[in-house]
Amino acid sequence: MAVPSKKKAQAVGTPEAVNWPFGKKNYIWFGVALGVMIIGYILLGTGDITLAPLLLVIAYCVLIPVAILVKGRPDTAPSANQ
């Protein structure tokens, strides 16, 4: 039977221990990318072979990397509890 470490037990119970790297801006960019992908796949299904691949390439190669790399929220100072 393994005994959990105190650090892990504290991290689970405190909400400030969860540091999610994405903010509101990131989710907006992901939503835009998802919308462009959906439109691209719908156009691909209807037989459009010019605009559909262009939209899909833009979504996968531009919008998703932008959504990952954009700063969603400013870096916060470490809390005193850590």
Read off the pLDDT of residues 45-56 as tens digits, 9 standing for 90 and up.
999 999 999 999
Residues of the chain falling short of pLDDT 70: 1-18, 72-82
Looking at residue 29, what is its pLDDT?
Answer: 95
Q: What is the CA radius of gyration of the chain?
A: 20
Q: What integer pLDDT is reported at residue 47 of this predicted model?
A: 95
Count other Cβ atoms within 10 Å, centred on residue 52: 18
Write down the pTM of the prediction.
0.66
CB count within 10 Å of CB 59 equals 20
What is the model's pLDDT at position 69? 93
